[in-house]
Structure 1
């Protein structure tokens, strides 16, 4: 996959309202879910207890934690987009996060970024990217998140 190249303020402004090239597909493994559960201490049964999932889960398979899905955005974004012409960038926060569909073990997913807004702020530029995590073969995405980045001149 070829990254979307964005050069400076003019490059950002030229892409406002446009969907960028999607990133590569990745497959969710049970080991990914387990490692996230271990790192966060969140071992809720719907993620890690295969026996109970088989009996009680409406999803029929282990599902990723919502925060796991959200945490994948930064790395997947940097794999899909390269922004140059600034001295630095900070993850400034999130405006809105939704999980329309569960990301199940074995699912294949990718990030599709869209540059929603660019505003000048003191010392640089603030860009809002609407990031959608598509699930291959599913009509609803696993995640839609408005991520706010600050780029410094």
Structure 2
């Protein structure tokens, strides 16, 4: 990845504590992405998959991604932003807080931004609290804002 930040071990993480880590490449939300997510989750609510009804009845005019699609993109785009080395395992440990302030509309471009907010020592590694946002190009509010917790475990 061209703008990927390399972080080497615990010291590399500590060096960027409190900093913005960067942004992923822009992605465009395709209808097929929405449908595949609906198929995977069984959530076929019309506001996501029915283009004609969205034109007629939705305040957005087009289908929108599921909120959980937006949050799921965090894990998928995480390693576009950082290349973490010196650990045996990196675990997505969970979420503390998730909000969906704005819709992610069909055809919109979006990306992930990350900030390392906290680090806690663990017996065999560190736990990191990252502030993650799925930004939407040209929009003031993100489609998803989440506190994500990762555990970086030493080999």
Using structure 2 for the length normalisation, give the TM-score: 0.96
Alignment of 1:69-88 (within 5 A): 69-88=70-89
Corresponding residue for 2:18?
17
Corresponding residue for 2:97?
96
Tell me, yes or no, if structure 1 residue 31 matches structure 2 residue 32: yes
Equivalent residue of 1:33, what SS?
helix
Uncovered stretches (5+) of structure 2, i.e. residues with no partner: none
Uncovered stretches (5+) of structure 1, i.e. residues with no partner: none
CA distance in 1, matches of 2:91, 2:56: 43
Corresponding residue for 1:41?
42
Alignment of 1:48-127 (within 5 A): 48-127=49-128
Equivalent residue of 1:20, what SS?
strand
Q: Which runs of 4+ in 1 moved over 6 A?
A: none
Q: Deviations over 1:108-150 (max 9, x none)?
A: 0111110011110122110011111111111111111111011
Corresponding residue for 2:4?
3
CA distance in 1, matches of 2:123, 2:58: 49
CA distance in 1, matches of 2:100, 2:143: 5
CA distance in 2, matches of 1:80, 1:21: 6
Alignment of 1:136-147 (within 5 A): 136-147=137-148
Give the superposition deviation at 1:58.
1.0
Q: Deviations over 1:2-61 (max 9, x none)?
A: 201111111111111101121100000011001111111100000001121112111111
Q: Deviations over 1:70-106 (max 9, x none)?
A: 1111111111111111111111100111111000000
Equivalent residue of 2:22, what SS?
coil
Q: What is the count of residue pairs matched by the alignment?
A: 153
CA distance in 1, matches of 2:70, 2:106: 12
